[in-house]
Amino acid sequence: MTAKYAYYPGCSLHSTAVEYDASFKAVAAKLDIELEEVPGWVCCGTSPAHSTSHLLSIALPIKNLALAEAAKATQMVVPCAACYSRFKFALYDMHHDQKIGDEVKEIVGSSFQGNIKVLHPLEVIAKLPAAVLKENVKRQIDDLKVVCYYGCLLTRPPKVVRFVAGGQTPPEAGDDVEYPTTMDKILENVGINVLDWSYKTDCCGGAFALSETDAVLTLTQRILKNALEVGADAIVVACPLCHANPDTRQAEINAKYNTNYNMPIYYFTQLMGLAFGYSPEEMLINKHLTEPALLRNVGKEQSRMSW
């Protein structure tokens, strides 16, 4: 049965993370997940908004949720963990502070009901039975070993985001805040080798990419180091900021720490798409800045070998 969701891509998926947008849509098509982009959506305000004005940081997400509600949606899927976090905070604050709620409704100028649910693609896919994922697998990618990097904002703070638990009716136990496994399980179900590691929810420096870049180098280096130490060939992410920092800053990290990292960072939807039979070109594998030949030829050699 087709599941229908409003889709809020956020600014990154239209620019620095086009491969996340394309691969999520491709995977959704295989899994009968229908995505309808929220008409006229605007930026969620991200860190600069909540660092500058509490009211603004609530008003921008609520504007988008009101647009989705007006388009008759009851569930909205948000692939960027930073946007996802802002939406969850906006809903939480609206529900817990009547005054803010009234002010925001006045600012946004709509009769926002607040019954809409916000979900991350991981939550949407985690709802599906494992058998559905398994039956879509067309290709074995078993020579690749990965670690799953969830970053800060998917699971924290749990009372606000309720990662995995928030998408269930009735609410079930959510994923672990410090040691989540939702992405690990999804990838294992499509035949990817997932390794255990200890930096699943550590910060990469996030929004400091352009301002305090040196902090990004320090924090991201720790993440790359642990991934390499446990024997990973790649890091898999579910957020455009978790992708951008490790993908774009490896050369600078190598210069600063006298290291030799060359670790590709993939979106979990890109790996799912490859497993589902899409080509590396369709999954925009060549869009990354750190890109060893690792997955570029997936499918090509295999078809020669198997026939």
Partner 1 sequence: METAIMPDAGFLKRLDNEIKVNVNACYQCGKCSAGCPMNYAMDLTPAQLIHAIRLGLKDLVLNSKTMWLCSSCQTCSTRCPQEVDIARVMDAVKIIAVAEGVKPQVPKVIAFNKATLRNIKWFGRMYELGLICDLKLRTLEFFKDLGLGVRMLRKGKLKLVPSVSPGRTLATMSIFSRVSNKEGQTKK
Q: How many residues bind partner 1 (CB under 8 A)?
A: 57
Residue 208 makes contact with partner 1 by CB under 8 A: yes
Q: Which is nearer to partner 1, 96 or 138 (CB)?
A: 96
Q: Segment contacting partner 1 (CB under 8 A): 22-30, 45-53, 165-173, 264-272?
A: 45-53
CA distance linking residue 26 with residue 34, whole number of Å: 11
Residue 198 makes contact with partner 1 by CB under 8 A: no
- Provide the Cα torsion 239, 241, 242, 245; round to 10°: 160
* Least distance in angstroms from the C-beta of 88 to partner 1: 11
Residue 248 makes contact with partner 1 by CB under 8 A: yes
> Could you tell me if 161 and 84 are in contact, meaning their C-beta atoms sit under 8 angstroms apart?
yes
Residue 15 makes contact with partner 1 by CB under 8 A: yes
Q: Which is nearer to partner 1, 154 or 271 (CB)?
A: 154
Among 55, 70, 137, 294, binds partner 1 (CB under 8 A): 55
Binding mask 156-195 for partner 1 (x = CB under 8 A): xxx------------------x------------------
Residue 43 makes contact with partner 1 by CB under 8 A: yes
Q: Segment contacting partner 1 (CB under 8 A): 20-28, 107-115, 124-132, 135-143?
A: 107-115
Which of these, 111, 122, 6, 7, lies nearest to 62 by C-alpha position?
111
Q: Which is nearer to partner 1, 52 or 74 (CB)?
A: 52
Phi, then psi, of 76 in degrees rounded to 5 = -125, 135
Among 210, 260, 304, 306, binds partner 1 (CB under 8 A): 210
Instruction: Check residue 130 and give left, alpha or beta (phi > 0: left; psi -120 to 50: alpha).
Output: alpha
Phi, then psi, of 58 in degrees rounded to 5 = -90, -40
Among 28, 59, 146, 234, binds partner 1 (CB under 8 A): 59
* Least distance in angstroms from the C-beta of 24 to partner 1: 16
Q: Segment contacting partner 1 (CB under 8 A): 56-64, 129-137, 262-270, 275-283?
A: 56-64
* Least distance in angstroms from the C-beta of 197 to partner 1: 16
Among 30, 36, 47, 136, binds partner 1 (CB under 8 A): 47
CA distance linking residue 213 with residue 204, whole number of Å: 11
CA distance linking residue 192 with residue 186, whole number of Å: 9
Q: Which is nearer to partner 1, 47 or 168 (CB)?
A: 47
> Could you tell me if 205 and 212 are in contact, meaning their C-beta atoms sit under 8 angstroms apart?
yes
* Least distance in angstroms from the C-beta of 221 to partner 1: 12
Q: Segment contacting partner 1 (CB under 8 A): 100-108, 120-128, 263-271, 292-300?
A: 100-108
Q: At what angle do helices 250-257 and 213-229 cross, to 10 degrees?
A: 90
Q: Which residues bind partner 1 (CB under 8 A)?
A: 11-12, 14-18, 40-43, 45-56, 59-60, 63, 85, 97, 103, 106-109, 152-153, 156-158, 177, 202-203, 205-208, 210-213, 215, 218-219, 248, 286-289
